[in-house]
Amino acid sequence: MESSKLFRVKEYFVSSDKVIFIFTAMGTKIPMYKFFIKQLNKRGYSCVVYDYGLDFLFNATLQLWKKFFDEIISDAQKRIKKLKQKNVTNFYSYGASMGTLVANKLTRDAKEISHVILNMTYGDVADNIFTYRGVKKAKESFLKQGVDREELRRNIFYMDPIKTAKELKNKKILLQLSRYDRVLLYEQTKYTLEAFRKNNLDFEYEESKIGGHYLTGIINLFRINRIDGFYKS
């Protein structure tokens, strides 16, 4: 497993011309996705998996967030370049919760990524930071720096799935939300769905009316047939 100060990455390769870049949920560790990765390997997908600590939230600064995104996207792009030299021709991305923001950006930035799955993604990220109690340390950190909600929104444009929706043109997207999400509130995430529709993106949409953020996110990880079918579409 390789690591930097901001993230860790591990490769799980099989003999294949298909690679998925997987970005985990904040605070979860790569070993927690062992079954998920193993099932994807069995279907013929190599996997490059990233995780990250909670410093991203607890010691939040605009500079740290930009550095994190710049470095992790750069790392993935370098790996894509090397894999292309080894005749890998199919590249996909997958994000869970906070990882959807990274998967989204990599998909926008890398022309090689054709499909992306956004498993429980955000609406307006700044709204989530300022309203969800689970990340109140990030909110407090920004306020201490004199960064209010509007300034945060302006400065993190690059990770906002609503404002950047048009940049996903010519990509295939599977968007998964939950009506009963209490972490990424449906009242906020539904605007991402509307942005995708407004920009006429090539996307499929699934909405859980049973589980909340964690249960739905986990269930989606076990739907290997669905994931395989989408990437083959």
In the block, residue with structure tokens 């998967």: 103
Q: Give Cβ neighbours of residue 85 (< 8 Å, ≥ 6 apart).
A: none
User: What is the pLDDT at residue 59?
Assistant: 86
Please report the domains of the chain, with CATH numbers, ordered by start residue: 2-231 (3.40.50.1820)
User: What is the pLDDT at residue 55?
Assistant: 83
User: What is the pLDDT at residue 5?
Assistant: 84
β-pairing, 113-119 with 172-178?
Answer: parallel
For residues 100, 101, 105 and 110, what is the CA-based torsion angle, rounded to 10 degrees? Answer: -20
Name which of 26, 20, 21 is nearest 7 in CA terms.
26
**Alpha-carbon distances, residue 101 vs 1, 12, 20 (angstroms):** 22, 22, 16
**Alpha-carbon distances, residue 227 vs 25, 169, 180, 204, 219 (angstroms):** 17, 20, 22, 12, 12
Q: pLDDT of the chain along its 233 residues, tens only?
A: 776 789 999 999 999 999 999 999 998 999 999 999 999 999 999 999 999 988 888 889 999 999 999 999 999 999 999 999 999 999 999 999 999 999 999 999 999 999 999 999 999 999 999 999 889 999 999 999 999 999 999 999 999 999 999 999 999 999 999 999 999 999 999 999 999 999 999 999 999 999 999 999 999 999 999 999 999 99
* Strand-pair partners of 178: 208
Give helix 224-231 / helix 34-42 axis angle, nearest 10°. Answer: 50
Output the 3-class SS for 19-77. EEEEECCCCCCHHHHHHHHHHHHHCCCEEEEEECCCHHHHCCCHHHHHHHHHHHHHHHH
User: What is the pLDDT at residue 3?
Assistant: 67
Would you give the distance in Å from CA 209 to the centre of its chain?
A: 22
- Would you say 20 and 93 are in contact if contact means Cβ atoms under 8 Å apart? yes
